[in-house]
Structure 1
Amino acid sequence: MQTDSSFTFVLFGGTGDLSMRKILPALYEAHRAGMLEASGKIIAVARHEEDRGGYLQWVNEHVKTHVSRNGVDENAWSSFVDRIEYVKLDLGKAEDFVKLRDAMQDLPGTRVFYLATGPSLFVPICRALASVGLNENARIVLEKPLGYDLRSSNAINDAVGEIFAEGQIYRIDHYLGKEPVQNLLALRFGNALFEPLWRREWVESIQITIAEELGVEARGDFYDNTGALRDMVQNHLLQLLSIVAMEPPHSMDSDSVRDEKLRVLRALKPIDPRDISKVAVRGQYHAGVIRGTSVPAYATEPGVKTDSATETFVALKVEIENWRWAGVPFFLRTGKRLADRVAEIVVNFRAVPHSALGSSALRPGANRLVIRLQPNETIRLYCLAKKPGEGMNLSSVHLDLAFDQFFKEGQMEAYQRLLLDVIHGRLALFVRRDEQEAAWKWVEPILNEWAASGKPKPYAAGTWGPAAASAMLAQHDTCWLEEEN
C-alpha cells in the first residue's frame, strides 16, 4: 500500500554493521511492499572515500545477504538502490555538513536522521546539523546505548534536547517493534479473556529471557566497557517488563502508552545494596562448547582485558510495588554464549486451589502463557486436558497463535515497523526521556555495587549461566522454563 508521506532518510554510519544487517534491509522490505512514498530518498553518510557507485557496490555485497527469507526481488532491488545517495562526511569539518545540506536542498518531505553510530557522536552530529539549519522539520533516531550511566545519559539528552524537541527524538528499542510484543497488547487489551487474570491474584511469577549463543564477536572493546546490565537490562528487558506489567492505556496514542510504561518503571522496588547478592546474579562465560564447536572464554576475546570483571550474564528478581503486582516476582535474565538463542516472556498462572482430578492440576506452571519473540515468533497457551483412554489422567496441551499460519501476509520485521513509524511520526514504540531516566535510576545501585565488589561468577559457554541463577528461582519454588522441560 502506497503512503503519502514524502521523506529524506539520512543514515549516519552508512557503512556500519547495523546499517548493513538491519536498517537498509528493513528499508528495502518496506520499499518492496510499497510502503514507502515513491519520492522518498535515502542518503547514506560515512567518512569512507567512496563515490555513489562505490557505495552501491558495497551495499550490493553486504546488504543482500541480510534481506528476507524470501530472497531478493531484483526489480524491487534495482528501484530501491535508485533511492540511495552517498555523502562523504567528516564530523570535524563544518563544510561537510554544508555539503549534506546542499544534497538535501531540493528533496521534499520530512527529514529523518538515523544515528547508527557510537553515542559519543550523537551530540556532535546534532550540533552540526543545527549549525546548518537541518534540525527543522526533522526527526532524530538515537540507537542504544544512550550513555554509560544516569549522568552521561542525562548529559546526552540535555544536549540533544537543546536542538530537537522531545517530539522529534526517537530513542529506538527494536524489541518493542517485534510482532509478539504488539500481539501481547492486543491479547490483553482487545480480549475479555486475559485482562481479568493479569494480576497478582492469578499470576504466580513472570520470566523474561533474552539469551544469545553468540559471544562479543568483534565488539570486545565496546562490550568490556559496557556489560550485560547496561547493554540489555537497562533498555530491552526493562522495556519488555513495562509492556507486560502496564495498566490499560486510555488509547494507543504515544503518550498514553508511554505514561503507563513510566508508571511501571517508577513502581519498581528499589534495590537495597545490602540485598543485591540475593536478587541479582552476574556471570562471565568461560571456554565451552556450543553445538559441537569449542568457543573461547570471554577474557581471551579480542579487545577484552584478561582480568576483566565485566558481566556477560545477568539474572534479576524484580518486584513492582503497586496493587496489581505486589508480591509477584518478575525474573529477568540475559546472557551471551548461552545454550540457545531465545527471547521469551513466560507468564506462570497460579495452580487451582483444590483439584479433584489429581496432583497434576496443582503443580506450578500447569497453566502458563509463553510469548516467544525469537527465533520463532509465537504465542502459546498451556493448559491441562484429559488423556485419551481409561481413567481421568491429565496431560499438558497447548493452544498456538502461530502467526505464519493464521495470517497469510508476511510478518513485518521489528526494524521495518519502527522505521515506518519514524517516517510517519508515530512515537508510541519509542522510549521517552523520563522512561529512560527511571530505568537508569533503578539500575544504578546494582552497577555501583558490582563496581565495588569482586568478579562475576563463572559459567561454561553453552550452558544456561551460573547455578546461582537457578538457585535464586528455587527460593521461590520455581525454575526457569528450560529446566522444567
Structure 2
Amino acid sequence: MQVTAQNTKPESLILVIFGGSGDLTKRKLVPSLYQLFKQGKLPHRFAVLALGRTDYTDDSYRPHLDEALQMYLAEGEYDASLAEQLLSSVYYLAMDPAEQSDYPRLVERLSQLDKQIDNPANYIYYLSTPPLLYGVVPQHLKHVGLNSEEGGALRRIVIEKPFGYDLASALELNEIYRSAFQEHQLYRIDHFLGKETVQDIMALRFANGIFEPLWNRNYIDRVEITAVENMGIESRGGFYDQTGALRDMVQNHLAQLVALTAMEPPVQFNADLFRNEVVKVYQSFRPMSDDEVRRRVIRGQYTEGEWRGELHRAYREEDKVAGNSRTETFVAMKLYIDNWRWQGVPFYIRTGKMMPTKVTEIVVHFKPTPHKMFTSLDGGTVPNQLIIRIQPDEGISLKFAAKVPGSGFEVKKVSMNFTYDQLGGLASGDAYSRLLEDCMLGDSTLFTRSDAVEMSWRFFDPILRLWQEDDFPLYGYPAGTWGPKQSDLIIERDHSWTNPCRNLTNSELYCEL
C-alpha cells in the first residue's frame, strides 16, 4: 500500500457554523478548534462566523464560548490567554438558517470578514443544526452563490449524521447535496472515524505482516462489534424517539466499523480508493429475508431497573417520549459478508442505552487449535482473541494461552496490552480536532461518501420497514443489564457475547413490550 502526498491547508479560511448557539458547538467544535489553535494547526489567517437564532453579538457570544471551553476542555487544558486569542477571531451573526431572506446578510458579513483577514472567499460550512435543516441550508447557500468555487475559492460543507432516516430520505438528501455542491465539497462527518483507535484498525491490519495472512475465513471464527453506553437518552427524548438505535448507531457507526474490519487493502491510501473499499463491503452485506430478520435481529427498550444502588426510570418515562413508544434503545444483529475473504464468518453487532458500562470495542475471535493438547484452567479451549478497544481506555489487547508455572501442562489465557496514551500527541479521544483539520486540508478519507450512504441504507431499510409491522417483537430489558435475553439466541449455541464487565440479572425480569 502506498500513501499519497498530504493535502495542503489554505493560508486563510472562514469557518461558518450553522447552529453556533447550539450544544454541539460549545461541547465539541469550539474545544476542538482550541486544540488545533494551541498546536498551531489552524490556517494563518482564520476566523469563525457562528450563526444562530439566539440574539448574541460578537461581544456577548465570546464569553459564552469561554465558559464552554472552561467546562468541556480536559482538566489542565484551559489557558485563559490562548482562549482569548482564539475567541478574538470568533464572530456571530443572528439569523434564521431556515429563512432564505436572511442569507444576503450572511453574504454581506462574510464579505466584511474577507476584507478584515485578507481571505479570498475560502469558506467551510458546518451544519451543526437539527437534521430538518440538512436539506434546506445547502439550497439557500446555492441561491446566494455561496456554494460556487468559481475563481478558485474553497467551498466545503460538513454535514452531521443522520444522513437520512431511511433509503428514500437518504436518496433525496443526496440529490439536494449534488444539486448545490459537488461530491468533493461534501464532508459527511462521523466522529467515530476520527478516533485514533478506529484508524488504527487499518494500521494494525495493513502495516503488520503477522495479522493480514490470518485475517480471513480460514482463521477467524467470528467477529463481535459492541458500542454501548451506561446512560439513557438524557435530554434528547424528542430527537431519539423519532430516531432509535438503528438509525442513531447501527446504520452509520457500527456499519463503518464492520467495513473497516472487513475491507480489502486499497492499492494506495487515498480518499477515493479507501472509500471504494468501504462501499464494496456494504455491497457484500448478505440481504436478509423477513424470516431471517426475525431470527437475526433483536430490538429492545430499557425498562425501569435498579443499578448501582439507584432506581433508573424506563425509557417510556423519559421526557418527551411517548408513553406507548416502540422506539428501540437496543439492537443486536447477526450479519454475513458474501465475498471471498469472509464467506461464512458471522459478524455480530450490538448497541444499547442503559447498559452496565460504556464501551466500544471490536473482538476478533480466532478459530481454536485443531487438536487440544493441554488442559485449561479457564475450562474448555483457549481460542485467541484480538480486542480493539475504541473507548474508553483506547488500545489493543491480544489474548493467547500460556503455560501455568509448576508441574503439569495446564494453560491459562493471558493478554498483551497496548494503550494509546503510550504514544502521546493529540488526545486519542479528540476526534473532532482530527476531522476538522482533515476538512481544512481537503482530505476526505475519513468522511462518508454518497454511494456509501446509499449502499448502507439499502441493507438496513428493509429491517426498518419490517419493524413497522405490529407483530415484530420489542423486548424489554431492565436498566443496567446487557439487553434482552433474546439477543443471546442469535449467537451460536457454543458462544456468548463478550461483555467487558459482567452483570448478574434475574432472567425473569426480561419481558416483551
Q: Normalised by the size of structure 1, how large is the TM-score?
A: 0.96
Is it true that 1:233 corresponds to 2:239 in the alignment? no
Preserved contact between residue 115 and residue 140 of structure 1 (Cα < 8 Å): yes
Could you tell me which residue of structure 1 aligns to residue 239 of structure 2? 222
Partner-residue secondary structure (3-state), 2:322: coil
Preserved contact between residue 114 and residue 140 of structure 1 (Cα < 8 Å): yes
Could you tell me which residue of structure 1 aligns to residue 86 of structure 2? 80
Q: Which runs of 4+ in 1 moved over 6 A?
A: none
What code does the residue aligned with 2:35 have?
A: E
Alpha-carbon deviation of 1:408? 6.1
1:461 to 479, 491, 496: 479
Q: Distance in 2 between matches of 1:335 and 1:415?
A: 23
Task: Name whichever of 291-300 and 251-260 sits farther off.
Answer: 291-300
Partner-residue secondary structure (3-state), 1:452: coil
Alpha-carbon deviation of 1:470? 1.5
Residues 346, 77 of structure 1: CA spacing in aligned structure 2 closer, same or farther, 3 A cutoff?
same
Residues 408, 121 of structure 1: CA spacing in aligned structure 2 closer, same or farther, 3 A cutoff?
closer
What code does the residue aligned with 1:368 have?
A: Q
Alpha-carbon deviation of 1:60? 2.0
Q: Distance in 1 between matches of 2:37 and 2:374?
A: 56
Q: Distance in 2 between matches of 1:208 and 1:88?
A: 43
Preserved contact between residue 226 and residue 350 of structure 2 (Cα < 8 Å): yes
Partner-residue secondary structure (3-state), 2:327: coil
Q: Distance in 2 between matches of 1:472 and 1:92?
A: 45
Could you tell me which residue of structure 1 aligns to residue 318 of structure 2? 301
Preserved contact between residue 205 and residue 349 of structure 1 (Cα < 8 Å): yes
What code does the residue aligned with 1:230 have?
A: R
Is it true that 1:213 corresponds to 2:230 in the alignment? yes
Preserved contact between residue 10 and residue 441 of structure 2 (Cα < 8 Å): no
Partner-residue secondary structure (3-state), 1:162: helix
1:133 to 121, 128, 145: 145
Q: Distance in 2 between matches of 1:17 and 1:210?
A: 23
Partner-residue secondary structure (3-state), 2:135: helix
Preserved contact between residue 246 and residue 261 of structure 1 (Cα < 8 Å): yes
Preserved contact between residue 279 and residue 452 of structure 2 (Cα < 8 Å): yes
Residues 165, 104 of structure 1: CA spacing in aligned structure 2 closer, same or farther, 3 A cutoff?
same
Preserved contact between residue 98 and residue 137 of structure 2 (Cα < 8 Å): no
Alpha-carbon deviation of 1:305? 0.7
Q: Normalised by the size of structure 2, how large is the TM-score?
A: 0.90
1:44 to 30, 40, 50: 50
Q: Distance in 1 between matches of 2:75 and 2:199?
A: 22
Equivalent residues, number: 483
C-alpha deviations, 1:403-460, integer Å up to 9, x for none?
2124466436111111111111101101111111111110011111111134510000
Could you tell me which residue of structure 2 aligns to residue 8 of structure 1? 14
Alpha-carbon deviation of 1:359? 5.1
Structure 1: 5+ residue runs without aligned partners?
none
Is it true that 1:112 corresponds to 2:118 in the alignment? no
What code does the residue aligned with 2:215 have?
A: W
Partner-residue secondary structure (3-state), 1:176: helix
Task: Name whichever of 190-199 and 17-26 sits farther off.
Answer: 17-26
Q: Distance in 2 between matches of 1:303 and 1:339?
A: 24
Residues 410, 155 of structure 1: CA spacing in aligned structure 2 closer, same or farther, 3 A cutoff?
closer
1:123 to 109, 118, 135: 135
Q: Distance in 2 between matches of 1:384 and 1:6?
A: 55
**Pairwise CA RMSD of aligned residues?**
1.9
What code does the residue aligned with 2:133 have?
A: L
What aligned pairs does 1:329-340 form with structure 2 within 5 A after superposition?
329-340=346-357
Preserved contact between residue 25 and residue 64 of structure 1 (Cα < 8 Å): no
Partner-residue secondary structure (3-state), 1:62: helix
What aligned pairs does 1:46-445 form with structure 2 within 5 A after superposition?
46-105=52-111, 106=114, 107=117, 108=119, 110-136=122-148, 137-358=154-375, 363=380, 366-407=383-424, 410-411=427-428, 413-445=430-462
Alpha-carbon deviation of 1:484? 9.0
Partner-residue secondary structure (3-state), 2:134: helix
Partner-residue secondary structure (3-state), 1:401: strand
What code does the residue aligned with 2:124 have?
A: V
Alpha-carbon deviation of 1:361? 9.6
What code does the residue aligned with 1:477 have?
A: D
What code does the residue aligned with 1:85 have?
A: Y
What code does the residue aligned with 2:371 have?
A: H
Q: Distance in 2 between matches of 1:67 and 1:309?
A: 37
Partner-residue secondary structure (3-state), 1:199: coil
Q: Distance in 2 between matches of 1:219 and 1:143?
A: 16
Partner-residue secondary structure (3-state), 2:157: strand
Preserved contact between residue 364 and residue 478 of structure 1 (Cα < 8 Å): no
C-alpha deviations, 1:327-362, integer Å up to 9, x for none?
111000001111111000100111111132235699
